[in-house]
Amino acid sequence: MNRVEEWSVESDFAGLRLDQAVNQKYKEISRTLAQEMIKNGEILINGESTKPGQKLKGGEAVRIAIRCEEKESNIAATPLDFKILYEDKYIIAIDKPVGLVVHPGAGKEKTTVVSAILGHTKLSPIGAPTRPGVVHRLDKDTSGVMVLAKTREAHRRLSEAFSGRELEKEYLAIIQGHIVNRKGRIEVAIERDKIHRQRMKATSADKGRMAISLFEVVEYLEGATLIKVKIMTGRTHQIRVHMAYTGHPLLGDTTYGSKRLPNHAKHFLHSSRLVFQHPITGKQVELAAPVPEEFAQALSELRSSARAT
């Protein structure tokens, strides 16, 4: 059973976000875990559910159902048919293929990144039953480097590294059209679209969560551009929303206004490089993954078309 804590918020915590305050008050609860608990209704303010970003004033009655033991995952293992880039007893990093979701969601997918890894090894129970070991996610149609945790401590430390921007995340993307600036910084807040709930959208800083992306042109193609993107934050659909904001959505990303490339994936986004400090040993880990075959084929076709014109 969970241990229930009642906390009357001291004035020292006034002005802090709820997830920050919970992390500072209860050291065993990382900010990432606090956010998950708040969304699940395991942390209440004055008896009511709220949001992780709720600002505290002091004096609130906070009720926390602290997880004494995380739930066991009931996900059935499936065959692992993608490449493992790195593995030890604390973490596992993979080259995620296009078309595979990370964990079961509303679609009740049975074959996921998590189910495949569970067929190979154990994952941290944090996030169970549906998201054991998951510290960050890639969209279904995004490929490339992804790291998961195998122990609780590794999970908590990795989560803090991701939320604290203590790592390098680099992507390759094919965007529609020829972007004029060869380099740029996009600093635009993002929020969920209230009408189309599966979409995110650019918004004002007071309404959404700030997101920062740095892009650089790698190559101009026929009606498209290959770019390299480093993200300083990890918002949902961040690169997709930011590039659409510039007027150059990811090629094939019809969700954000692009046209489809015939006979190819929905969009072209690849997590090409991830650099971080190992959560337990502290050593630097640098991981890279080549673009998948379909991405490479699309590049080849677009290069051929550019040479022919």
Active site residues: 139
d(CA 104, CA 236): 17
Cα first-last separation, the chain: 67
d(CA 65, CA 4): 4
d(CA 272, CA 197): 28
Q: How many CB atoms lie within 10 A of CB 18?
A: 23
d(CA 109, CA 75): 10
User: What is the Cα gyration radius of the chain?
Assistant: 21
Q: Name the helix (H) or strand (E) containing 123.
A: none
Q: Name the helix (H) or strand (E) containing 285.
A: strand 284-288
